[in-house]
């Protein structure tokens, strides 16, 4: 079977890689091709275009790179048409993938969508595109089933693949020695995976280091990003930059400052108390504020349907506010324990481990049935 996958950022690349491994275990003749990153490549995907060439966020940033985005969409359609896969598996990344789905459907190739776009947050009208052009949608958040039921569109809840990714990651037992971290406690700094978000948030995050010399601030450098990109950011004795070891950083962290997104859930699943940070361009923020229909921006709070972790958004993400919340994380035991007890509920709600295997099973079954 020939599988074409499309992921447009680090989290999609990770989940795509685990899905590819699960599919390979069930289909020994499987061949994989698509848009993605290093993780998918290592899993056996022939990467046509790396996601670092396609990852743009915010209304302004997308507009500035519109020509390149449109060219990538065009080349992707042409590549799919020429390669003739048995199925195209779209992974989140709706701005791109919802433009690919109609083309794939029209040329008679099966379309699966793994990890729903956040249509429950905004632009819910795009459900109609999925209903028309996607043969099956595999969702990973428990409340998404009810959302799609309102539109009379059945979906498959397969559980969250982060549980698989974390369970399969055994960690580096020599992590502290390898990076000469000594015995000091670590504060994980996860500023995001895109240049524009890192540039905005990382300087504020790193400004905390001077107040806590007893901690080491460890920056999780984005996969696919050149080390030289981080050279212009703050240098202090208790700041260290590490690439390709985000899970080891979280496994050893006492607290974390995290950009909103999948990383907030990863941090919670590693049971690290955190403060969530978000700041976009002024124009993008005000447009999103008028369009987005959700109470929270972090997955932890969305899944819990209440505030479990603090969210510093736009003007609230500033030096003084961040220091106040970091103080709570580091010094208030009751505050930390309350957050950790809420984290412990996530595993059950998210369906337990096995999401990648469950998804691969159902995909193989549908393909065999011709559905």
Check whether residue 335 and residue 190 sit in a common domain: yes
CATH of the domain at 81: 3.40.50.2000
122 and 63 fall within a common domain: yes
Mean per-residue pLDDT for 197-213?
Answer: 94
| Contacts of residue 227, Cβ cutoff 8 Å, sequence gap at least 6 | 221, 241, 243
Domains in the chain, number: 2
Same domain, 11 and 145: yes
- Residue 88 β-bridge partners: 4, 111
Cβ burial 247-256 (10 Å sphere, 16+ → b, else e): bbbbbbbbbb
- Residue 123 pLDDT: 73
Predicted pLDDT of residue 287: 42
Residue 59, pLDDT > 70, answer no
pLDDT of residue 62: 56
Q: How far apart are CA 201 and CA 121, in angstroms?
A: 23
d(CA 94, CA 113): 10
* Same domain as 95, residue 67: yes
Higher pLDDT, 11 or 157: 157
* Cα atoms found within 13 Å of the Cα of residue 110, Cβ hemisphere only: 19
Does the predicted model carry a pTM greater than 0.85?
no
Are 246 and 338 part of one and the same domain? yes
Distance CA 25, CA 16 (A): 14
Residues 269 and 334 in one domain: yes
DSSP annotation of 207: T
Q: How far is CA 176 from CA 68, 190, 214, 218, 281, in A?
A: 41, 18, 16, 11, 36
* Long-range contacts of residues 58-67, Cβ cutoff 8 Å, at least 24 apart: 58/196, 58/280, 58/281, 58/284, 59/281, 59/283, 59/284, 59/287, 59/288, 60/281, 60/283, 60/284, 61/196, 61/281, 61/284, 62/95
Are 202 and 329 within one domain?
yes
Q: Averaged over 209-232, what is the pLDDT?
A: 90
Q: Which residues contact 153 (CB under 8 A, 6 or more apart)?
A: 127, 130, 131, 137
| Bridge partners of residue 46, in order along the sequence | 33
Do 200 and 127 lie in one domain? The reply is: no
pLDDT at 120: 78
Domain match, 293 and 361 both: no
Bridge partners of residue 277, in order along the sequence: 259, 312
Q: What share of the chain is helix, strand, coil (3-state, %, to 5)?
A: 50, 20, 30
Shared domain for 264 and 301, answered yes or no, is yes
Whether residue 228 is found in the same domain as residue 94: no
Question: Using 50, 70 and 90 to split pLDDT, how confident is the model at 61?
Answer: low
What is the mean pLDDT of the segment spanning 255-279? 93
The two tokens of residue 250 are 């979280």
Domain match, 340 and 220 both: yes
| Domain residue limits at 285 | 168-349
Which of 43-47, 228-232, 250-254 is predicted with the least confidence, judged by mean pLDDT? 228-232
Which of the pair, 291 or 255, is modelled with greater confidence? 255
pLDDT in tens, 278-301: 886 554 444 445 545 568 889 999
Query: 17-26, 187-196, 203-212: lowest mean pLDDT where?
Result: 187-196
pLDDT digit string (tens) for 20-44?
A: 999 999 999 999 999 999 999 999 9
């Amino acid at each position: 079977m020939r599988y074409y996958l499309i992921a447009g950022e680090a989290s999609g690349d990770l989940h795509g890689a685990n899905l590819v491994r699960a599919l390979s275990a069930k289909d020994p003749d499987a061949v994989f091709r698509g848009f993605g990153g290093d993780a998918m490549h290592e899993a056996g995907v022939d990467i046509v275009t790396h996601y670092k060439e396609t990852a743009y966020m915010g209304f302004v940033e997308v507009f500035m790179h519109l020509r390149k985005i449109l060219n990538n969409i065009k080349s992707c359609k042409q590549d799919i048409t020429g390669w003739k896969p048995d199925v195209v598996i779209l992974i989140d990344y709706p701005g791109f993938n919802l433009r690919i789905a109609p083309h794939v459907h029209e040329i008679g190739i099966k379309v699966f969508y793994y990890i729903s776009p956040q249509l429950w947050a905004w632009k819910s009208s795009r459900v109609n595109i999925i209903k028309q052009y996607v043969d099956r949608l595999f969702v990973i958040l428990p409340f998404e089933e009810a959302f799609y039921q309102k539109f009379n569109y059945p979906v498959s809840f397969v559980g969250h693949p982060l549980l698989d990714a974390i369970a399969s990651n055994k960690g580096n037992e020599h992590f502290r020695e390898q990076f000469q971290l000594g015995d000091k406690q670590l504060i994980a700094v996860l500023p995001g995976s895109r240049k524009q978000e890192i540039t905005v948030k990382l300087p504020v995050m790193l400004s905390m280091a001077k107040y806590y010399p007893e901690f080491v601030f460890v920056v999780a450098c984005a996969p696919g990003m050149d080390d030289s990109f981080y050279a212009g950011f703050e240098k202090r004795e208790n700041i260290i930059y590490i690439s390709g070891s985000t899970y080891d950083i979280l496994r050893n962290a006492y607290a974390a400052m995290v950009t909103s997104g999948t990383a907030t859930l990863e941090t919670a699943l590693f049971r690290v108390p955190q403060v969530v940070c978000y700041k976009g361009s002024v124009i993008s923020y005000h447009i999103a504020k008028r369009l987005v229909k959700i109470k929270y921006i972090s997955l932890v709070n969305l899944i819990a349907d209440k505030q479990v972790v603090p969210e510093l958004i736009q003007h609230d993400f500033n030096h003084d506010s961040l220091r106040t919340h970091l103080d709570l994380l580091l010094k208030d035991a009751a505050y930390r324990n309350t957050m950790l007890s809420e984290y412990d509920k996530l595993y059950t709600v998210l369906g337990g481990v096995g999401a990648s295997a469950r998804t691969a099973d159902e995909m193989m079954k549908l393909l065999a049935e011709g559905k």
